[in-house]
Amino acid sequence: MRFAKFPVNGSVALVTGGARGIGYAIADRLSRAGARVVIADLDEVDAKEAAQRLGRGAVGIGLDVRSRDRYEAVVDEIESSTGPIDIVVNNAGIMPVGPILDDGPGVAAATMDVNFWAHHHSFTILAPRMVGRGRGHFINVTSAAGAIHSPGLAVYVASKHAATGFGRSAREELQGTGVTVSVVMPSAVRTELVDGIPFKRWERLGIVSPTMVARRAVGTLRRRPAVVGVPTGTVPLLRLYHVVPEWAWLLGRRLVGADRTLEPYDKAARADYDARIEIQTIESGAGKWH
């Protein structure tokens, strides 16, 4: 389907997980294009500091995307103080690493809450408002992992499959309303998510920068496509994956030395990132992630 270019200048854009990494890069790009950006992050201090660094009237606000009530309260606050939200970037995400049986209590629930349910909350809260105004665009950052499988990332992969499928389905339900959804599927990105993971030399070639992801994400506002990959060409490759027999897939992984989970990974290098995941599992009342 063809859509008119979505005007960025003067639009209000909400970016979740916007204090760092991909989210901050997207917020920066939207702001430079003239959007009034609201950076939302789990840590309100981080969100406000990021907004201050960004400048150009950006606002920082604390948001636990797992809570639909909090999400709706934040949307109400933004729309009363800044204006109707035109662009939503569902970027917040967590990526626990390691074998499934090593996951502590609460890891799967927290991962699904942040990586999938937050997208659902965003849609059910904002889509009716956008449809009523006849305009709006969701940019749902999922992952190439949302189309394949990967040992050592089983729960993360499951959450990204859910988010990707949800975004594609929600898009079709919005046909004719003036509101659109684009799914952005990056390969591994050079952020804290990949800290400590022992990538092979050839695997490092596929790691992209947050800036590259931001360029593709904000670029969806031009034609509002259903799905884009980062780097370009990712989506066709992911489609080919589904016709590869399991024996060929496993043989290929063995030949390139990728027939393993992502362990042993450098736990010290991931300490800060893992600590933030642990906070979310504890706050959910689900226990501690080890």
Helix axis angle, 21-32 to 44-54, nearest 10°: 40
Query: In the chain, at which residue ranges do the beta strands (DSSP E only) sit?
Result: 12-16, 36-41, 59-62, 87-90, 136-141, 179-186, 227-230
Q: Dihedral of CA 211/34/167/64: which sign? A: positive
Partner residues linked to 88 by β-bridges: 14, 138
Told to judge if 156 belongs to the known catalytic residues of this protein, a careful annotator would answer: yes
Say if residue 254 is exposed, middle or buried (CB neighbours under 10 Å; 0-12, 13-18, 19+): exposed
| CA gap 217, 225 in Å, rounded | 10
For residue 271, count CB atoms less than 10 angstroms from its CB and return exposed for 0-12, middle for 13-18, buried for 19 or more.
exposed
The C-alpha atoms of residue 9 and residue 168 are separated, in whole angstroms, by: 26
Separation CA 187–CA 143 (nearest Å): 6
Q: How far apart are CA 39 and CA 50, in angstroms?
A: 7
Active-site residue identified among 156, 241, 265, 273: 156
For helices 21-32 and 210-223, what crossing angle results, to 10°?
Answer: 50
The CB density around residue 242, as the number of other CB atoms within 10 Å, is 8
Please give the structure tokens belonging to residue 189: 């990105």
* HSE of 248, CA atoms in CB hemisphere, 13 A: 6
Which residues are catalytic, by number? 156
